[in-house]
Each structure stands twice: as structure tokens, then as C-alpha cells.
């Protein structure tokens, strides 16, 4: 029997508590934390792409510790095998039978650290899990825990020994986010505190598994006006038909864009989506789903796709 959605005001208190808890560790990055919470509520996966040492792994740990969910970390390397992620079938001599030993993917929150260091074969072990919440093993389909969230990290400037994520893998991530360096004030506080590790170790969960599922269920009740659906679809269609684009946003991308807008509206205390939600999410949700025809990049310009999405959003009329 389906549970009744919890009232919006109670939901807001829970969401605010979750954000505040994560920000005890990740200082001065309210926008990134807010988007991560929205992705969690939209049942979407997160790709954190940034230079080393800015808190990608710490953010993943803080989000996992703020909810009383199971957590596993996989350090992706070139010698990582799919069985190291999914699990392996072994022969139990005591029982005289084969049994499946589950891998670290059978968890609520999975941190795929430096995901682009693994070979495409190992990366592909996540595809079915991220899109369907299931794993196929030995002609069986096994369900993963619910909720299930993958937070992957990668370094955008290090190419030696890495394997770029294929388009099919990128399309499974709801958002691609960067953290960036902290401002001087927050970094000074971090220095005085001796880093974020102490705060992380003392972090206590503020939501449990049932509360997360209730919040995820409530996202679908957020109202989206017909004019905003048309606005969203115009952005998506432009990404497919623009002469500078080789690969546009997929149907999966459009669906997750819609749901992300609902989740962000709820995180911001509204039971309806506004144009600003659609505009704000365009780059984090869509930029990693497109491919430009001219992929030549200027030095320090790592995301022509993001600039293109910003450009078309600025040119499309906002509905009134």
C-alpha cells in the first residue's frame, strides 16, 4: 500500500536539516550542496568533475553520512574488473553448491572514485545499475537497495591513464557538477579547523531510509505548468537541431531534466516549478549529454558544451 506524501512544510524542515548537515563539512558551497540534495530527491546520480583536493570525495562522504544509508567506496583503477564491482559466484565446499558473493555495488550510496581510471569494460558494469536499479548475474536479475545513488568523481585535466566516459555512461548521470575552490574566508576557517576530516567524523545522520523515500515520492507531486514544459522542451529540441551540435539531449535526458526541476522546486520550498529552476539546471543536467561538432578547446576551456547550453538558454524566450 502506497504511503501518503508527507506535508510540504515537514518536507522542507527535513531537506533544510540535510543541507545544513552537509554544509558543516563542505563550507561555502551552498549551491553545490543544494543541487546534490535535489539530485538525491530526483533519484539521480551525480558526476563530480573537478581538480584534485577541492572536496569531491569529502562531499560524497558527507552526503552519505547525513542519511542513515549503507555506503561503499570503490577506487577505480585500470586493473579493476567488473566482478570487483558487482560480485562473483564461488563454490561453497561446505554446502556443496555455488553461491553469489555480492560486491560493493549492493549499497545505498556508492562512491565511484576517479571513475575514468577504469577501463570501459569495468565502467559498463554500472550501466544497468544506474538506469534500472538492477544487476544481471548468472542469468538472474538482482535488485539493488532502494534508494540507490552513485556519486562518481573524476579529474578533468589529467588524461594519462584515464578512459573518457562514453556517452551512454554520461547519460546515466542526472547532474555533472564542479565544486571549485573555496573563498578566502571559508578556506581560512578550514585551515583553522585542521581540514574537514574532523567535522566529517563527527557528522551524524539527520534522515533515515524511509524519510528519503518519502521525499523522493513527493517530488512527482510538484506542479509544472504547461508553458514551462514547452520551455523545457524548446531547450532540449534546440540542442538536437542546432548546426553546431553533433549529438543532442536524449529522451532520458529530457525526462531527468523535468524531474530535476521538480526536485529543485521542492528543495527551494515550492510545490511548483518556476522558469528559474529550468534555467538554473540547464547546464548541470544537459551539458554532459551533448557533443559539439567542433571539439577543439582553448587552454583552460574544459567545457564548450556548458558554454553552448548557456548560450541557447539565454536566447530562448522565457514564458510568462
Residue 239: CA count within 13 A, CB half-sphere? 28
Q: Write a three-state SS string for the chain.
A: CCCCCCCHHHHHHHHHHHHHHHCCCCCCCHHHHHHHHHHHHCCCEEEEECCCCCCHHHHHHHHHHCECCCEEEEECCCCCCHHHHHEEEEEECCCCEEEEEECCCCCCEEEEECHHHCCHHHHHHHHHHHHHCEEEECCEEEECCCCCEEEEEECCCCCCCCCCCCHHHHCCEEEEECCCCCCHHHHHHHHHHCCCHHHHHCCCCCECHHHHHHHHHHHCCCECCHHHHHHHHHHHHHHHHCCCEEECCCHHHHHHHHHHHHHHHHHCCCCECCHHHHHHHHHHHHHHHCEECCCCCCCCCCCHHHHHHHHHHHHCCCCC
Q: Do 291 and 170 share a structural domain? A: no
Q: Do 36 and 112 share a structural domain? A: yes
Say which residue, 139 or 42, is predicted with more confidence: 42
Grid cell of 224 as nine digits? 509544472
Give pLDDT, residue 157: 66
Q: Distance (Å, rounded) from C-alpha 43 to C-alpha 146?
A: 10
Give pLDDT, residue 6: 55
Q: Do 153 and 90 share a structural domain? A: yes
Q: Do 76 and 23 share a structural domain? A: yes
Q: Do 10 and 140 share a structural domain? A: yes
Share of the chain above pLDDT 70, in %: 93
Q: Do 30 and 154 share a structural domain? A: yes
Residue that is last in its domain, among 163, 190, 220: 220
CATH of the domain at 83: 3.40.50.300
CATH of the domain at 306: 1.10.8.80
Q: Is the pLDDT of residue 134 over 80?
A: yes
The string of pLDDT tens digits covering residues 13-34 is: 999 999 999 999 998 899 999 9
Give pLDDT, residue 94: 83
Could you give the number of structural domains in the chain? 2
Q: Do 228 and 215 share a structural domain? A: no
Q: Is the pLDDT of residue 3 over 60?
A: no
Residue that is last in its domain, among 205, 220, 235: 220
Range of the domain at 181: 1-220
Overall average pLDDT of the 97-104 stretch: 88
Q: Do 150 and 78 share a structural domain? A: yes
Give pLDDT, residue 295: 63
Q: Is the pLDDT of residue 277 over 70?
A: yes
Q: Is the pLDDT of residue 297 over 60?
A: no
Overall average pLDDT of the 194-204 stretch: 82
Q: Distance (Å, rounded) from C-alpha 213 to C-alpha 204?
A: 19
Residue that is last in its domain, among 220, 247, 282: 220
Q: Do 200 and 92 share a structural domain? A: yes
Q: What is the pTM of this model?
A: 0.90
Q: Do 245 and 151 share a structural domain? A: no
Confidence class for position 260, pLDDT limits 50, 70, 90: very high
Q: Do 231 and 180 share a structural domain? A: no
Beta bridge partners of 92: 97
Contacts of 18 (CB under 8 A, 6+ apart): 37, 66, 67, 206, 207
Say which residue, 3 or 56, is predicted with more confidence: 56
Residue 6 CB-density burial (10 A; 0-12 exposed, 13-18 middle, 19+ buried)? middle
Q: Do 320 and 190 share a structural domain? A: no
Amino acid at each position: 500500500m502506497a504511503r501518503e506524501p508527507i506535508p510540504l512544510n515537514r518536507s522542507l524542515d527535513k531537506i533544510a536539516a540535510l543541507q545544513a548537515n552537509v554544509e558543516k563539512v563542505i563550507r561555502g558551497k551552498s549551491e553545490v550542496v543544494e543541487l546534490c540534495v535535489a539530485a538525491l530527491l530526483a533519484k539521480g546520480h551525480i558526476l563530480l568533475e573537478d581538480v584534485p583536493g577541492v572536496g569531491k570525495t569529502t562531499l560524497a562522504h558527507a552526503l552519505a553520512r547525513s542519511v542513515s544509508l549503507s555506503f561503499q567506496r570503490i577506487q577505480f583503477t585500470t586493473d579493476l574488473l567488473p566482478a570487483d564491482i558487482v560480485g562473483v559466484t564461488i563454490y561453497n565446499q561446505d554446502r556443496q553448491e555455488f553461491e553469489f558473493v555480492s560486491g560493493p555495488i549492493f549499497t545505498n550510496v556508492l562512491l565511484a572514485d576517479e571513475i575514468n581510471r577504469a577501463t570501459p569494460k569495468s565502467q559498463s558494469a554500472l550501466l544497468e545499475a544506474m538506469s534500472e536499479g538492477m544487476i544481471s548475474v548468472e542469468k538472474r536479475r538482482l535488485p539493488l537497495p532502494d534508494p540507490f545513488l552513485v556519486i562518481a568523481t573524476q579529474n578533468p585535466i589529467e588524461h594519462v591513464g584515464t578512459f573518457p566516459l562514453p556517452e551512454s555512461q554520461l547519460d546515466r548521470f542526472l547532474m555533472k557538477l564542479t565544486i571549485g575552490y573555496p573563498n578566502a574566508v571559508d578556506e581560512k576557517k578550514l585551515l583553522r579547523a585542521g581540514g574537514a576530516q574532523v567535522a566529517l567524523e563527527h557528522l551524524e545522520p539527520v534522515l533515515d531510509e524511509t524519510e528519503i523515500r518519502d521525499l523522493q515520492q513527493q517530488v512527482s507531486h510538484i506542479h509544472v505548468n504547461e508553458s514551462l514544459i514547452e520551455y523545457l522542451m524548446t531547450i532540449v529540441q534546440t540542442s538536437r537541431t542546432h548546426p553546431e551540435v553533433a549529438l543532442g539531449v536524449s529522451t532520458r535526458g529530457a525526462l531527468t531534466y523535468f524531474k530535476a526541476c521538480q526536485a529543485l522546486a521542492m528543495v527551494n520550498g515550492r510545490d511548483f516549478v518556476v522558469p528559474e529552476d529550468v534555467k538554473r539546471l540547464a547546464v548541470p543536467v544537459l551539458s554532459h549529454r551533448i557533443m559539439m561538432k567542433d571539439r577543439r578547446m582553448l587552454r583552460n576551456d574544459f567545457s564548450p558544451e556548458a558554454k553552448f547550453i548557456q548560450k541557447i538558454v539565454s536566447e530562448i524566450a522565457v514564458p510568462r
